[in-house]
Amino acid sequence: MVLSREGDPRCLATATINRLLRPLRTRCSALSKMVSTQSQPSTYSSSRRTSALLDSSNHELPLTVYPPPDKYASKAHFSQGYKDSLELIRRIYAVRDAFRNVVARGGKPDRLPTLSSLCAHVIGHNMYGWEEPPEEEEEDSESEAADFVDQMYEAVPMACRGWLLTSHALGIILNTCPHHLTLISTLLDETLDHRLDNEVAQLQEALLLVAFRPKPNGPPAICHQAHSKFLTEWLDRWITVGFSPSTFTVGLLRVLSKTLSSEIWTSKAMETFIRRLYHLDSTAFFWVVTELACHLSTKSNVRRQSILKPHTGTRDTLTDLSEALSQWFTFIIGRPVSLPVDSPQNPSLSAAFFELIQASRFILSPDTTASALTLRDGVISISLTWLVYNRSTAPPTYLQIVEAMLASFIPQPSSFHGLVQHIFSGGSLQAGRRRLQLYASEIGRNKLARLEASLWGSTLYVVENLEGDNHLSPHDKAELKTYRQQVMEFVDEAESQLFDGPSHDDTILVVPDPRETDVPLVPQSPWTKGNWRWEPLIGSWVRQQALTAGAATERKKRRLTFVTPVKQAAAELSNPSEDFWTHTPRPKFRSRGTPRVAEKIPALLSKKPNFTSLIANAGSQRTVLHPVSTNCGLSFEDTNTHVPNDWCSSPAMERRDRSQDEDRVVSEAHHQPSDDVLDLLAHRSSSPAPPW
């Protein structure tokens, strides 16, 4: 009989496998029974003892990994909580030691697994479900299950039994023992040292689930401020043994998709991890930020469809997520040199960046909150950055999608403040001008007038702020001043194209005022609908009165109705036309129940009355300058009464004399004539009296 060498997977007989798995099953069962026994809250004290065991004592941090029992025993003399946890820690490390023996005996697997070894791993992953007998069956079924497991091992080739044994042992632990953080961490260390890819992936998922799973009475354990470096420490441990950051990121995203916890994305641990990941693997960095954008999009859709609103006075989850995503947009904008421009041969990086832009399309929704506007500005900047550095290498379909997104955005005057500030920071003015010209050329290529006006406006804002820097040399200040004058010209040109330039889609014709005969019909921009025009004297846009097709309508005013008796002679005296008579409008002050008065009163004189009417009106409103006596009442036929010649020769007076049968006497004081025959220069002292 040939003795098997330790660690040689070719000599793993069925009896050897059972001898390795038997202590592992025993220790896993002991750990599971301890936790299940203490979990029964029979008394108040036992409940407190159980919480100390499961939560690793109340005074410890939620993600604390306990040292081995020999190092932990020294602390047990100072606290009862440590004494309660000591037995739990001993059983955890006992399981770890049993698994270490299995891994060491299974041997180090090949660097590139074969198809048969992968099949053996899948069989071992499902072996626990086959060997566990149903609860309702008798004890004889346990022996039958053990025989079935032995048959499975016999069917697998000897070279692949190491894969099967390791996968089977890990399945026993994960399905039997509680997922304590110390247990999962120690097992993950063992698998990382032996480069067991499949087992590492399973344990990483179990570890992150412990850290990310929300608690019933609080946020996940990863959100604790003391665990800000939890993810980065495991990432560094991951890289140390030879695994890539992308594999760690894939497992992390898989767990995040299962938990769907918004608090994790806003935690300090996640922020530290993403920053660290950017310097290690930019492609994986974009994967994580894209997942954040998808998570925010899902939460936003749920909020729109939900009737419930966030409680007043509490922090809104969507606001926190929006601020977190805006932070990473700013992070990307501030490092455009490290983006695909430095590695155009890496198509995966460009594709990951594009996926982030496409996942941010939900920001096109009409949301006017401050966080939504900030997000929109960030998407505009990163989309333009992607076009600048991927124009020559990106697929045409990608270019069309990004260009359509940029054309649909309506920027703010400050949309490019952050981008321009990063362009001119940390470098010379010439370098900043060259980089800015790349963005301006890309906008001009796509004829995005609104984005161009916003870009140059932000540039002018940043350049004016740079002029106040006291550390600039006189040469730099002079150069900056010259550049500011150029930017001002760019701003004027962009605004004139935006507001006054003709548009092929929305061109309208301004209808001129009929009083202005020399106004041509010229095409105007849709911005003229807002009653704005360019004033060259002040170099600015000013508001003007809207032009209408008809004559200018005067504002209607209410008139007070005064019912005044009008003589027929007065009507003939003024010689009005039919257009001078109007119906009385509704009176402004009228008591309830009073019928409406509908009589005709003379309207105002026309703007161009004839000369005869002017003479008649002037004569009727003469003012007495030299009163003589108030006792003499003269008839109209008295020759001593002084009447001007124009009154006698008036055609209106002749018609009046022929039409009246009786003379009407008017009480009027005598007066002496003045040099002004019509008394036009005299001031009226009283109401004029009719001359008859």
| Tens digits of residue pLDDT in 520-529 | 433 344 444 5
Confidence label for 216 from pLDDT (cuts 50, 70 and 90): confident
In whole angstroms, give the CA distance from residue 301 to residue 304. Answer: 5
Q: Residue 158's domain spans which residues?
A: 1-212
- Domain check: are 386 and 433 in the same one? no
What average pLDDT does this structure show over 144-149?
79
Average pLDDT, the chain: 73
Q: Which residues contact 376 (CB under 8 A, 6 or more apart)?
A: 363, 409, 415
Same domain, 52 and 172: yes
Label residue 416 by pLDDT band (50, 70, 90): very high
**How many residues can be counted in the chain?**
692
Q: What does the alpha-carbon distance between residue 381 and residue 363 come to, in Å, rounded to a whole number?
A: 13
Confidence of residue 264 (pLDDT cuts 50, 70, 90): very high
Can you give the pLDDT at residue 569? 44
Is 191 inside any structural domain? yes
Question: Does some domain include residue 588?
Answer: no
Separation between Cα atoms, residue 205 and residue 248, nearest integer Å: 10
* End position of a domain, from candidates 543, 560, 595: 543
535 in helix, strand or coil? strand
Mean pLDDT calculated for residue range 111-125: 83
Would you say residue 606 lies in a domain? Answer: no
Within a domain: residue 592?
no
Q: Kindly state whether residue 240 falls inside one of the protein's structural domains.
A: yes
Residues 24, 183 contacting (CB under 8 angstroms)? no
Is there a domain that residue 587 lies in? no
Residues 107 and 184 in one domain: yes
Task: List Cα–Cα distances, 424 to 340, 429, 433, 459, 576, in angstroms.
Answer: 20, 7, 8, 9, 78
Among the candidates 390, 409, 428, a domain finishes at 409
How confident is residue 625, by pLDDT bands cut at 50, 70 and 90? low
Both 16 and 42 in one domain: the answer is yes
In the prediction, which pLDDT does 156 show?
87
| Structural domain contains residue 377 | yes
For residues 314 and 18, the model is more confident at 18
Among 499, 528, 558, the domain-final residue is 499
Has residue 668 been placed in a domain? no
Q: How would you class 361 by CB atoms within 10 Å of its CB: exposed for 0-12, middle for 13-18, buried for 19 or more?
A: middle
133: exposed, middle or buried (Cβ count in 10 Å: 0-12, 13-18, 19+): middle
